[in-house]
Structure 1
Amino acid sequence: MAEEKIRSKMSIHGHPIHPMLIHFPVAALLGLIGADIAYLVTGDFFWARLSLWLAGIGALGGWVSGFIGMLDLTIVAQIRSLITAWCHAILAVMMLSLATLNWLLRVGEPDLAIMPWGLYTSLLTGLLISLTSLLGGILVYDHAVGVSPEKMAERRENL
């Protein structure tokens, strides 16, 4: 466990913005897998149209959240010194690039893009989300990035 606090510079009243924003694009991109499968099972165009929206929301929301996280990475020297932070950032850029490609494939005719490349990119994006999230969790729980000093003291008492 990290002994010294690593405060996020991109925060509102001490609450880091990146973790606040990332849940929505992650949910959209994981929901995209379900929408793709639902389209393949039912053939209903609703699911193809939903997959277009989920891909767009996931990609654009992810870039916004990622930009905030990248600012913390480049501004805060303590975060910048963590190899885990760089690995998290690199995987996130790879994942968001793939998510953006997935979205762009669907623009125009979303139903035709689902099989095979749309589903493949959705599944690969889901795998990269899992790995990126694991590293993000390590940053918070093992290195206490963005964790308030009060929470760190509370955690020490509970150990």
Structure 2
Amino acid sequence: MSLDHPVHPATVHFPIAFLSTAYGLDALHVVRPYMPSTLTNYLPTVVETTRIGYWALGLGILTALPSAASGVAQAMKMVQAQGLFDQSGKLKAKSKVLIAHAVINDLVIAVSAWIWYKRRNASSMEYIKDGLNPMAYEPQTWMVGASIVLGALLLFGANLGGTLVYDYGMGLSMGKKVIKKNE
């Protein structure tokens, strides 16, 4: 593997998958009591889904760190090569998308880390006589609301990343000239 190839597009899939799973399980936690038993019988238990959601959130944050670092490195290379502003001094459209993508995703990671920390602290305090409370990792109501908002922001940030790749070609050639075979 060469360091000349962009790493960021390859690293974003795990945090998106883990964080989406965590946010979805948090939302399921709230709507589950209102679902018909014919459907909930096929789902894992409440204890299992809260624990899976907690650990998926932690893995999402953990895998987001190299993704964010590689994104910063790639953005810095783009800014050094092309700059943020056009000749008239206005922010380029590509730069606006890049900044929005970075800010939204960094916000999602930071708030997710704070929620994970709060759940971790709450779960470590909830010991019962024979060990850990089965519902120790249960999200609080405000955490579920935040998870729904974070899920929407995560998808929007990922869409902006797709715009950078597919509309602006970022992350495809690292600014190098692509050589066609027939030339």
TM-score (norm 2): 0.67
2:15 to 6, 21, 25: 25
Partner of 2:112: 99
The answer to whether residue 49 in structure 2 is matched with residue 52 in structure 1 is no
Whole-Å separation in 1 of the counterparts to 2:111 and 2:12: 16
> Aligned partner of 2:23: which letter?
I
The answer to whether residue 141 in structure 2 is matched with residue 116 in structure 1 is yes
Unaligned runs of 5+ in 1: 1-10, 155-159
Residue 24 of structure 1, CA deviation = 0.5
**Structure with greater Cα Rg:** 2
Label 1:74 to 1:33 Cα distance change in 2 as closer, same or farther (>3 A): same
Whole-Å separation in 1 of the counterparts to 2:54 and 2:70: 25
Whole-Å separation in 2 of the counterparts to 1:79 and 1:102: 37
Note the alpha carbon deviations across 1:4-53, whole angstroms, 9 max, x for none.
xxxxxxx8465421111110111111111232244442762111111110
- More displaced stretch, 107-116 vs 128-137: 107-116
TM-score (norm 1): 0.76
Label 1:86 to 1:48 Cα distance change in 2 as closer, same or farther (>3 A): same
Whole-Å separation in 2 of the counterparts to 1:113 and 1:52: 8
The answer to whether residue 131 in structure 2 is matched with residue 129 in structure 1 is no
Whole-Å separation in 2 of the counterparts to 1:98 and 1:141: 28
Partner of 2:103: 90
Whole-Å separation in 2 of the counterparts to 1:22 and 1:67: 11
Deviating above 4 A after TM superposition, structure 1's stretches of 4 or more consecutive aligned residues are: 110-113
Whole-Å separation in 2 of the counterparts to 1:49 and 1:62: 20
Q: Please state whether the residue corresponding to 1:114 is helix, strand or coil.
A: coil
Label 1:48 to 1:72 Cα distance change in 2 as closer, same or farther (>3 A): same
Label 1:17 to 1:35 Cα distance change in 2 as closer, same or farther (>3 A): same
Give the count of matched residue pairs: 143
Whole-Å separation in 1 of the counterparts to 2:19 and 2:157: 13
Unaligned runs of 5+ in 2: 33-39, 85-94, 124-134
Residue 126 of structure 1, CA deviation = 0.6
